């Protein structure tokens, strides 16, 4: 998954074979196009057509939502328009929520392993080129190495925690914020302030800590920090009693370590 983008790179390779055999790889993308608090079910409102462009399939299932770009090096593409029904989400079921979802298959991508060493698909909210896949991969490997080097000690477990902590920090405009409840909700003030010291201070990410504190300080209203920034950029919600207290605790921890 490309850092800072809504982009995922998928590659399939054949290895360990002395000679290729006649084979074909089929990839059937299944899409939901849903809010993370909602579930998709089979419906007639979906636009099931695909727009084939140069090394790209463009999907626009519902009006007002971003298009999905599937850059690929497939040998052939076939439009389908099928629904696959009743997938089940274990976590939702355990929480007592609705847990069954239907997914839409707009097309089939077919690859001949004999014609290319790699089958590549880049799913993104913006146009991509499959030739960028290796560059994305190397860039991500370098980013992960740089992240783990911020570990306060060389212990492998602590390095893993350092890498995990990095994934919760996101951008909000030109500042930073925290998705402490990923993936159930966006950046909540109370959760962010509780998580901030552990996510940033042991790894000496002091500028990030300052950015997060600035982000929420800019939205103080009558002494309260927003408990939630709405997903679509609307007015923040102020409905938490102790977020401001946790803000002061986060500032105290920051000053105690960084001064």
How far from chain centre, in Å, is Cα 133?
17
In which domain, by residue range, is 75 found? 7-128
* 53 pLDDT higher than 90: no
Does the pLDDT of residue 188 top 90, yes or no?
A: no
pLDDT at 237 over 90: no
Which of 89, 106, 128 marks a domain boundary? 128
Digit-coded pLDDT (tens) for 83-108: 999 999 998 899 999 999 999 999 99
Residue 20 has a pLDDT of: 65
CB-based contact 160:166 (threshold 8 Å) = no
Q: Give the residue-averaged pLDDT of 162-191.
A: 82
- Tell me if 133 is assigned to some domain: no
Residues 213, 207: Cα–Cα separation, whole Å = 10
Q: In this predicted model, which residue has the larger pLDDT, 118 or 230?
A: 118
Q: Decide if 17 is inside a domain.
A: yes
Q: Are residues 53 and 163 in the same domain?
A: no
Domain boundary among 74, 94, 128: 128
Q: What is the pLDDT averaged over residues 26-38?
A: 90
Whether pLDDT at 116 is above 90 = no
What pLDDT was estimated at residue 105? Answer: 97
d(Cα 52, Cα 49) in Å, to the nearest integer?
Answer: 10
2 Cβ contact partners less than 8 Å away, ≥ 6 residues apart: 8, 9, 124, 136, 139, 140
Confirm whether 135 is domain-assigned: no
Band of residue 150 on the pLDDT scale cut at 50, 70, 90: confident
**Would you say residue 59 has pLDDT above 90?**
yes
pLDDT confidence of residue 125: 95
Residue 1 in domain? no
**In the predicted model, what is the mean pLDDT of residues 177-182?**
79
Do the domain assignments include residue 227?
Answer: yes
CA dihedral sign, ordered 75, 77, 78, 84 = positive
The domain tally of the chain equals 2
What proportions of the chain, in percent to the nearest 5, are helix, strand and coil? 30, 25, 45
- In this prediction, residue 231 carries a pLDDT of 63
Confidence at residue 57, expressed as pLDDT on a 0 to 100 scale:
96
């Amino acid at each position: 998954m490309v850092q800072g983008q809504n982009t995922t790179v998928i590659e399939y390779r054949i290895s360990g074979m002395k000679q290729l055999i006649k084979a074909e790889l089929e990839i059937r993308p299944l899409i939901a196009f849903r809010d993370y608090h909602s579930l998709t079910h089979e419906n007639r409102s979906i636009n099931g057509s695909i727009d084939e462009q140069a090394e790209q399939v463009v999907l626009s299932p519902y009006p007002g939502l971003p298009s999905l770009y599937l850059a690929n090096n497939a040998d052939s593409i076939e439009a389908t328009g099928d629904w696959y029904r009743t997938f089940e989400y274990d976590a939702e079921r355990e929480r007592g929520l609705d847990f069954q979802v239907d997914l839409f298959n707009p097309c089939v991508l077919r690859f001949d392993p004999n014609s290319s060493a790699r089958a590549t698909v880049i799913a993104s909210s913006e146009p991509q080129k499959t030739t960028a896949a290796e560059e994305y991969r190397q860039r991500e490997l370098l980013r992960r190495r740089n992240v783990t080097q911020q570990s306060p000690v060389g212990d492998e477990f602590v390095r893993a925690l350092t890498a995990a902590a990095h994934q919760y920090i996101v951008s909000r405009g030109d500042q930073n914020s925290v998705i402490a409840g990923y993936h159930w909700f966006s950046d909540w003030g109370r959760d962010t302030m509780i998580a901030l010291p552990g996510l940033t201070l042991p790894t000496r990410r002091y500028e990030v800590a300052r950015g997060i504190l600035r982000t929420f300080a800019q939205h103080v209203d009558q002494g309260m920090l927003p408990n939630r920034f709405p997903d679509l950029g609307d007015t923040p919600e102020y409905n938490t009693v102790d977020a401001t207290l946790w803000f002061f605790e986060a500032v105290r921890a920051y000053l105690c370590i960084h001064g």
